[in-house]
Amino acid sequence: MSRNAFSRLCYLLEKLHTLFLVKPVPIEEDCANDRWKWFKGCLGALDGTYISLRVAQKDRGRYRNRKGDISTNILAVCDINMNYVYKLCGWEGSAADSRVLKDAITRANGFRIPDGVYMPYDPLEAEIPEVDDQISDDNDVAFIDQVEPMNRVRRGIAPGAASKNCRRCWIADEEKALAEDMKDLVVRGYKADNGFKSGYQNLLEQAMMQAFPGTTLKAEPHINS
């Protein structure tokens, strides 16, 4: 499927969003579904998926994903019954899932996640006096508007346990430089049919250190991830 045809299809689906998209219902306390009963109050699940497509030669670098395929990165959110709640299309295959999610929750009319409220009634709040546990309108609900980098989340769970294995949030200049370095490796013959040849990550680490002296980016785990 060409990029233009895929974009047209997405446009038509958006026009029919009232038929295809549903408003999620929190998982109840008495849920008997073996897959979902452990997540009381959860609204659903989200994930990114790659959809293969054809693009112009000059755009292939931007649409090449971490598996080496040419694709677009789509964020999809489903409820317990696998009905779509939200979708975001259009990102290049090279875009990281966290970047797509950040775009979804910060754009106008984007993906809105209630902050700390997934049920009209929370049993734990009953123990706190003078708390209004009813949601009457979206204007009264605080929504999540940022994505916390995983390395900060892990440090919050285990203070003082910052590890070299923590993932790192990349800046735009670093992502651009990495993409250019990977294209340079392709020109130099480091690209095989099933991926890059052994040792390419160390070469990328050296190139990033030259481009950004003092950088903390390493082949493992940052470039590998």
Task: Using the predicted structure, report yes or no on whether residue 118 has a pLDDT greater than 80.
Answer: no
SS3 of residue 75 by DSSP: strand
- Rounded to whole angstroms, how far apart are CA atoms 49 and 51? 7
The model's pTM is 0.46
If phi > 0 it is left, if psi is from -120 to 50 it is alpha, else beta; for residue 55 that is beta
Comparison of pLDDT for 118 and 219, the residue scoring more = 219
Q: What is the pLDDT of residues 52-109, one digit of tens each?
A: 988 888 888 888 888 888 999 999 988 888 888 888 888 899 888 888 888 888 887 7
Distance between CA 152 and CA 139 in Å, rounded? 29
Share of the chain above pLDDT 70, in %: 72
Give the Cα separation of 136 and 114 in Å (integer): 13
Give pLDDT tens digits for 149-182: 544 444 444 444 444 445 567 788 888 888 888 8
Closest CA to 44 of 88, 72, 1, 85: 85
Domain boundaries, the chain: 3-147, 164-225
Instruction: Output the average pLDDT for the chain.
Output: 75
Give the tokens for residue 11. 């446009």
